[in-house]
Structure 1
Amino acid sequence: MKVFKKRLLLICVVLVFAIVQIFSAIAFAQDTSSPIFSDLPQNHWAYNAVKFMVERGIITGYPDNTFRPDNPVTRAEFARIMVVALNLPIKVTDTPSFKDVPKDHWAYPYVESAKYYLTGFRTANGDYFKPSDYAVREDMAVALVKAKGLQNENVDMSILNNYIDKDQISPNLMKYIAIAISKGIMIGNPVTNSNQLRFDPQGVLTRAQAAMLLYNVINTREEKITYDDNNGAQNNQQPGYQKPNVSGYTKGDKVVLVWNRINDTRLKGYAVVISKNNIEPEYPKDGYLTIFNNRDNTYIEISVDSKYNNGDFGVYLKSGEEYYFSVTAIYDNNVYVKGNSIKLKMPVVPNYFEKPYVKYEYKDNKFVLSWQPINDSRLIGYYVVISKKNKEPKYPDNGYLVFINDKNTTQITIDNTIPYKGGDFGEYLRDGEEYYFSVTAQYQDRFVAGNSVKAVYYSNLDIANLRPKLEAKTIKKFFGIRYISLRWNKIDNDKLLGYKIVISENNSTPDYIKDGLLATITDRNITSINVKAKDKYLINNEYKDIKRGHYYYITIYAIYTDRIVGGNVLKVKIP
């Protein structure tokens, strides 16, 4: 009888395990049909790279199921990503290599382990890593060159003469940059109306860019081992994978591409790829115009209004200019097979109006918006447009910050000193919050809006380190007692005087002066308070009760001797 029971128990365990495996497989299959993050659609230029990195635990998203691909990466964060991505052995010593990364720093083992690949800062007082600074493109070039084992390659340094910003490259890193360029690892972008390029060595690295570049290093290493691909060719030379056969022609004011339908169950779709300079463009290296997730899609019409992602020519194609067009077949397991390329001229569009191509960066800790010069006699000037809610803001629909009537001015420093007119966020931007930035070109008889960029705004990048980060959690205790626990990070700054917690029932961006004061905290070591129903807050010189079941907007302000820095805003329901 005991033997029978044991066998029955064993059978049950096996059945339960089998059922769990089946449902796990079903759940996994369902997950692959939808984006892994709410703010990273499957046609995002870095989607496959991010997915690859996330699945292997190399990089993670945020608790609200976002990835925030445009967020900058700090040098400490990049050290960790690189160590995990390249599976580098963890190396720690009794004596830290950098003055500002002691043993108790969270990134200490990663910085020490990645030291050979990354840059540091040598001073008379010792070496510094600057872990909280943002990683920049020249840092990435050094890391990639060393990761690929190319640091001892001979290179013609005159290749840097092709770049207008070569003087911005740190002197000790010039050879690495030259190698990266010569090997096609990082090339830069062409400068409008010039035969030169811009490398942007001090450009801030984003999470999406870090994922894509390290993903390319990992894939390169895997290909060398698995396929012995010594000539650096892509997966086009793998047997059993069919490549697209692309042809094209012009149709009115459009370019038309047509390619063969590939009948392969492993095929996931096609990426349409365009380049101004690469005669054999391919995805994901050269970005993409669109990605078709249906193998029956074998035709596309391309106009000057079609938006491009991560190209070497900006966001829009130009009327009357030549480009290289191709299609890359996307197979399972991140196999990309590029088709042939064809060179076609975009039709000359009568009455063509060029759109501004907008990008942002932090220069000298200031937020700078820039765009390409537009040489058109019909151009009058530019409107700088910002929106909190509209993903594609334009003038006049979304107001404007300033009108620039000098056609030669193609950048502006947004320092929060000019009030905004007709916006959806008030007169001034809030440090630490995300906005959509764009530029609308005004011609003699029309307005033409450019692309928009989403960015976290800081009037001064130093403020990012001064900004408190607020979190909220509903706490339930015995006897039905419930409350909201508010917590924030501890800020170690000699100028910090304390904090003020501000609350509003209606204002989604509670104001330090106009809205309710929930608490004033003068002890810098206090980093949390509890909020419950019937607690009081002060507004207009009278106290009001916090009501159970009501929603409130709550934020925190850090008070310094020389400034006040607002934190993020939370919407909470009082239990």
Structure 2
Amino acid sequence: MKVFKKRLLLICVMLVFAILQIFSSIAFAQGASSPIFSDLPQDHWAYNAVKFMVERGIITGYPDNTFRPDNPVTRAEFARIMVVALNLPIKVTDNPSFKDVPKDHWAYPYVETAKYYLTGFRSSNGDYFKPSDYAVREDMAVALVKAKGLQNENVDMNILNNYIDKDQISKNLTKYVAIAIAKGIMVGSPVPNSNQLKFDPQGILTRAQAAVLLFNVVNTRTSEEKVTYDDNSSTSSTQPNSYTIPNVGAYTKGDKVVLVWNRINDKRLKGYAVVISKNNSQPAYPQDGYLKKLSNRDATYVEIGVNSKYNGGDFGSYLKGGEDYYFSITAIYEGNVYVKGNAVRMKIPSIPNYYEKPSVKYEYKDNKFVLSWQKIDDSRLVGYWVVISKKKKEPKYPDNGYLVFINDKNTTQIVINNTIPYKGGDFGEYLKDGEEYYFSVTAQYQDRLIPGNSIKAIYYSNLEIAKLRPKLQAKTVRWWGQSYINLRWDKIDNDKLQGYRVVVSDTNSSPDFYKDGLLATISDKNITSINVKAKDKYLINGEYKELKRGHYYYFTVYAIYSDRIVGGNVIRIKIP
């Protein structure tokens, strides 16, 4: 009996504890909800915009539940976000508009669609989009003005006189920036101790800024309208409910046909059916069968190859390479409502094999130079060669050597920190901080090598240190019959800065702080230039030497801080 009472008491205690847990959980849920990302608190200035965009599948976070709001956005990434956010009808052809965004580029359908809103770069060799470049504010002004249909608005260009950096706006984009300012789409920031503003036209757009700018376009509310009702207003309307029709585009990618269509925002939508016909120019589900059904309502893209089995078609179970078919998408709504989209006629490529090439980009993450590319899902893939060149614009393995071979197919990025010697390159074993290089990745397949795109970037092993480096410039000046070299560097605003040391060498291409010639020691942090001429003296190994007219010398400037010494770039110039 005592044992029974003890068990009964234990059960009662556990039941009370469980009830308390339930009520405490309810109270917590009613009190405050958790932020959607670990690095984006609810009081963050972009939180509501990001939440809106994430909930609608327009923008996503990272697998570690971070959003990384301050990460920069590339032009290709912004093109995709814009197309999805504005639900733009996909417009693609088999002839790419840009030389650097071919049909097999992941952003091809988005760039082709967004080209009417974004800027491109025209040269004598053709048009370029520069997908790996970061998106900048003046480009976004163009995109948002066009998205709102304001590009033909009259605007007083004098509005730009309020901005100290108006001359930094690209000539062809000034009207768009002026309209964006006049309409309050993008305003800029105040300049301290001044009545003027700064637009920062070349400022790099972050993920948070992109979310907010597009949120302001997408979330524009329509005004209400007063209406009257007749005597029959209580009866049901005979007007049928409208359903969004898929707007279908297509292009070829290797040995596949790619279908793309607009994203449909309708709570009644259940998914899509991919429909193909050999003879019917307007195929639709269910009468013409289906290749696959997509339950993902956010889907706007599907790849179709000869290995996909068809159900209920007029051409058998499989497509044949080299033959034409009609492709379409049918939207499936609740209540068995099927709305077919337009059809496009495409030829299934007869390419026997397709090998995906790496799409390479770079960023500074945690002040480190990070090279990255997309994951290639191909059983024939062996790994990746990381390739760098100083002179070759499109470096590839094995022609231009390699930094490292990566045999893990799931690895899609590498931190280049100058600790691994380069093999077979045109610049020596190690990169030099502050200099430009071409970076690429070559995919190693079982029977071939496929080089990816090349990106040009200034390399810093540590971006935080790079900000402390003096940026030296030099030019020859002639004044009243006298000729001299003007050495000038950017002013560094750092509390730990104590001064500068100008170093010279006639043989060492990397003048050493201690071993090479001391030309000048500067303790005034506000002095950022000196003039150098023939017969000026410099100290080396305890002796003074003179600069010789007509001789070339290497010059550099070291910034002296209380806790470190940081060297700048090197310039080779002839003494006049």
TM-score band w.r.t. shorter chain: 0.3 to 0.5
Length-normalised TM-score, structure 1? 0.46
| TM-score normalised by length of structure 2 | 0.46
